[in-house]
């Protein structure tokens, strides 16, 4: 089966051009270059780069940054927010959004089959290498969360949980915007990604996050791993760790905008308003039906790194 469809009904000439310009360039080289360029510490170059970026992103809100003085473009991409800007929905049974995002495809998984876009299916087993874990989400719920490049790039625990391992899958760096999702079959299953099962002591309920990298983005930093996961990573695919996180606590960040796929077992339901195209902020209600109540939050802040033991 071909990975890219030659003709896609519904795409305009402009969208076809967007796809060519953002996907037919040497993706790996461009991603490695962007990683190097974004780390250059030069106030003048950083200001110029941000000014050019703002010409293309009218929703870039740098006034929300905790520290708006950036030494590099990467500091801008991975900026922290001022305290209090992302309150948590702590109602009983609520799973909060792990990040700021635009909701993409979402809803009930049909057995093991779900969609990245209309007419573009993939299966849980094609995305998640652990078939035991994938089977837990048959007939469950899924939400695609797309982080635009202008958005807050850090992601947080949606419930009180533990992460005992990260399953890293090396792969390509296709763009993950809606245009590419309507052109590249099984795109999420081709791209670099990490699978994080969230454990919370209830055997009948299950939640998993799958952060997916993309062009310009292939660097995922998790606070409970010793090194970032990127195109230069050469370590084990299954990385043991022992991180304890509170709901809303920061887990890590993308170097640039990308996507997080959220999977929930069949007991969960999408919250009202979680529909394709909806803007959601970190901490807002995403799913209902969680069996445990989050612990009080007064004794930690969201940017605090998780309690971690690295298994080496």
Measure the N-to-C terminal CA separation of the chain; round to a whole number of Å.
41
Distances (CA, A) of 154 to 52, 56, 275: 22, 21, 22
Q: Of the listed 38, 49, 97, 100, which one is catalytic?
A: 100
For residues 213 and 193, what is the distance between their CA atoms, to the nearest angstrom? 6
Nearest to 257 by CA among 68, 56, 96, 63: 56
Q: Of the listed 206, 219, 258, 288, which one is catalytic?
A: 258
Mean pLDDT by 10 residues, the chain (312 residues): 50 64 64 76 88 79 88 88 95 97 98 95 98 98 94 96 96 86 94 96 95 78 90 87 96 86 98 97 98 68 57 40
CB 142 within 8 A of CB 262: yes
Q: Return the bridge partners of 193, or none.
A: 169, 212
Q: Of the listed 153, 156, 256, 290, which one is catalytic?
A: 156
For residues 91 and 61, what is the distance between their CA atoms, to the nearest angstrom? 28
Q: What pLDDT, on the 0 to 100 scale, is given for residue 18? A: 61
Q: Is 303 a catalytic residue?
A: no
Nearest to 287 by CA among 111, 159, 119, 113: 159
Q: Is 130 a catalytic residue?
A: no
For residues 36 and 219, what is the distance between their CA atoms, to the nearest angstrom? 11
Q: Is 258 a catalytic residue?
A: yes
* DSSP of 87-151: -----TTEEEPSS-EEEEEEEE-BTTEEEEETTEEEEHHHH-S-HHHHHTTTT-EEEEEE--TTS
For residues 48 and 71, what is the distance between their CA atoms, to the nearest angstrom? 12
Domain residue limits, the chain = 13-77, 94-290+302-309
Q: What pLDDT, on the 0 to 100 scale, is given for residue 310? A: 43
Distances (CA, A) of 59 to 175, 279, 303: 20, 12, 23
CB 169 within 8 A of CB 189: no
Dihedral sign, Cα of residue 23, residue 147, residue 220, residue 39: positive
| Burial (CB count within 10 angstroms: exposed 0-12, middle 13-18, buried 19+), residue 300 | middle
């Amino acid at each position: 089966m071909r990975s890219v469809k030659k003709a896609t009904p519904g795409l305009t000439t402009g969208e076809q051009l967007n796809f060519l310009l953002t996907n037919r360039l040497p993706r790996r080289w461009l991603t490695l270059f962007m990683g190097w360029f974004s780390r250059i510490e030069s106030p003048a170059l950083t200001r110029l780069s941000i000014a050019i970026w703002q010409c293309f992103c009218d929703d870039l809100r740098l006034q929300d940054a905790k520290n708006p003085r950036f030494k590099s473009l990467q500091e801008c991409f991975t900026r922290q927010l001022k305290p209090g800007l992302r309150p948590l929905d702590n109602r009983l049974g609520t799973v909060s959004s792990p990040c700021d995002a635009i909701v993409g495809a979402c809803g009930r998984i049909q057995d093991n089959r779900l969609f990245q876009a209309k007419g573009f299916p993939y299966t849980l087993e094609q995305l998640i290498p652990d078939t035991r874990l994938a089977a837990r989400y048959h007939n469950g719920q899924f939400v695609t969360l797309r982080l635009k490049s202008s958005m807050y790039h850090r992601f947080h625990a949606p419930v009180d949980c533990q992460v005992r391992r990260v399953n890293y899958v090396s792969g390509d760096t296709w763009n993950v915007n809606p245009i590419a999702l309507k052109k590249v079959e099984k795109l999420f299953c081709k791209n670099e990604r990490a699978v994080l099962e969230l454990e919370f002591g209830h055997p009948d309920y299950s939640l998993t996050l799958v952060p997916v990298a993309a062009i310009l983005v292939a660097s995922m930093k998790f606070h409970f791993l010793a090194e970032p996961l990127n195109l230069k990573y050469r370590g084990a695919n299954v990385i043991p760790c022992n991180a304890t996180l509170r709901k809303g606590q920061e887990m890590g960040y993308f170097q640039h905008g990308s996507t997080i796929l959220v999977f929930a077992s069949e007991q969960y339901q999408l919250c009202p308003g979680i529909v394709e195209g909806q803007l959601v902020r970190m901490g807002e209600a995403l799913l209902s039906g969680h069996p445990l109540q989050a612990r009080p939050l007064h004794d930690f802040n969201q940017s605090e790194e998780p309690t971690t033991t690295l298994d080496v």
